Amino acid sequence: MKPAPFDYVRAGHPDQALELLASAGDEAKLLAGGQSLIPMLNFRLARPALLIDIGRLGELSYISRQDGTLRIGATTRQAQLERSKLVSDGWPLLARAIGWVAHPQIRSVGTVGGSVAHADPAAELPVACSVLEARMTVAGRSGKREISADDFFVTHLTSAIEADEMLLEIAIPAAPDGAGQSFVEYSRRHGDFALGGAAVVMPLDAEGRCVGVRITLMTAAPVPWRARTAEKLLEGAAPELAVLSAAAEAAASEINPTGDIHGDSSYRKALARTLCLQALTEAAATATPPNATGMDQ
């Protein structure tokens, strides 16, 4: 199939894109890398009257660290994130997640902001944003506002961005010192849509007990799913296998994933349990109590 007819404008500046959005309202769509939007246009799942191309806005393409926070411009290509030493050194979970995104050809064109704004719960970057407690800056006719990951992902393929707004930046705070981090995923073939996945950030206190653990499951719900019950179960506990297994069981018990031709709901629930335990185990293996970091050997 081919897209329905539409007008096309390449924005020369973010302000121009916002003006066009304000005038067109629900009739406009932003185009960045196009890796999600173009298929939707071709299948006529999206029928905008106006396509606003922001893919070449250099002002929104950057990766930087400010006051310990990683800041990523919305039009930054996923391949830039993948190659960034700043990201791999300081945000290893994010670096691992980006490696699971589709294929190199897709990552060379797809943008970080495009994937996050698309809000697909089976996509890696929304899950990483959830578990890393990212904050998204959006702008519209009434100015800028910052939205937490918890509030940003509303439901399947729906974010909190209003029709006259655009995503400008993703800000990701650094994980606590010594926190174990893991991102695991399962798909039939590498690059396929994930059948399941889990991301974990596991800080420890000075006694080696869990404190403030974060767990997000992929493809488990209409949004990246924070497994709050499992997180509470781990609070103050030593990350031993029995405890981690109980937490994975608790995480799986919270969800009721939708089945499809690749696996029914019970299969996906069991897969979520297995992947959550794997992620928890990997995070525990790399976690270090804060008083043990930086010690002379």
Q: Are residues 144 and 122 in the same domain?
A: yes
Instruction: Specify whether 41 is located in the same domain as 116.
Output: no
Q: What is the CA radius of gyration of the chain?
A: 20
Query: Do 151 and 230 belong together in one domain?
Result: no
- Claim to verify: residue 197 and residue 250 sit in the same structural domain: yes
- Report the candidate in 215, 177, 213 with the shortest Cα–Cα distance to residue 292: 177
Q: Is 22 a member of any domain? A: yes
Q: What's the one-letter identity of residue 198?
A: A
Q: In this structure, are 152 and 212 located in the same domain?
A: no
Is the alpha carbon torsion for 45, 49, 55, 60 positive or negative? negative
Residue range 153-203, pLDDT digits in tens: 999 999 999 999 999 999 999 999 999 999 999 999 888 889 999 999 999
- Per-residue model confidence as pLDDT tens digits over 15-56: 999 999 999 978 999 999 999 999 999 999 999 999 999 999
Which of 173, 196, 230 represents a domain boundary (last residue)? 173
Identify whether 274 is part of a domain. yes
The reply to whether 264 falls in a domain is yes
DSSP-assigned letters across all residues of the chain? --PPP-EEEE-SSHHHHHHHHHHHGGGEEEESS-TTHHHHHHTTS---SEEEE-TT-GGG--EEEETTEEEEETT-BHHHHHH-HHHHHH-HHHHHHHTTSS-HHHHTT-BHHHHHHHT-TTSHHHHHHHHTT-EEEEEETTEEEEEEHHHHEEETTEES--TT-EEEEEEEEPPPTT-EEEEEEE-SSTTSPPSEEEEEEE-B-TTS-B-S-EEEEESSSSS-EE-HHHHHHHTT----HHHHHHHHHHHHHT--PPPBTTB-HHHHHHHHHHHHHHHHHHHHHH---GGGTT---
Q: Which amino acid is at 148?
A: S
The β-bridge partners of 185 are 197
**296 lies in some domain:** no
d(CA 293, CA 284) in angstroms, rounded, equals 15
Q: Answer yes or no: is 269 within a domain.
A: yes
Question: Does residue 297 lie in a domain region?
Answer: no
Number of domains in the chain: 3
Domain boundary pick from 173, 201, 216: 173
User: Residue 92: phi, psi to the nearest 5?
Assistant: -60, -30
HSE at residue 251, side-chain half, CA atoms within 13 A, is 37
Whole-model pTM above 0.85? yes
pLDDT for 296: 44
State how far the alpha carbon of 119 is from the alpha carbons of 12, 124, 154, 223, 272, in Å: 26, 10, 8, 7, 19
Asked if residue 97 and residue 66 are part of one domain, the reply reads yes
The closest of 183, 270, 277, 269 to 234, measured between CA atoms, is: 277
Examine the fold and report which residue of 173, 189, 213 is the final residue of a domain before the chain moves on. 173
CATH number for 134: 3.30.465.10
- Which CATH number goes with the domain that contains 46? 3.30.43.10
Q: Are 197 and 184 in contact (CB under 8 A)?
A: yes
In a domain, 2, yes or no: no
Q: Looking at the structure, do residues 37 and 141 belong to the same domain, yes or no?
A: no
Residue 274 belongs to domain spanning: 180-289
Task: Of 173, 94, 47, give the one whose Cα is nearest residue 84.
Answer: 94
Same-domain status, 146 and 70: yes
What confidence tens digit (pLDDT) does each residue in 91-133 have? Answer: 999 999 999 999 999 999 999 999 999 999 999 999 999 999 9
Whether residues 63 and 47 share a domain: the answer is no
Same domain, 149 and 81: yes
Q: Is the residue at 147 inside a domain?
A: yes
Same domain for 250 and 205 = yes
Q: Compute the average pLDDT of residues 267-272.
A: 97
Q: How confident is the model at residue 293 (pLDDT cuts 50, 70, 90)?
A: low
Residues 163 and 92 in one domain: yes
According to the model, what pLDDT value does residue 19 have? 96
Q: What is the CATH number of the domain that holds 190?
A: 3.30.390.50
Nearest to 33 by CA among 97, 98, 116: 116
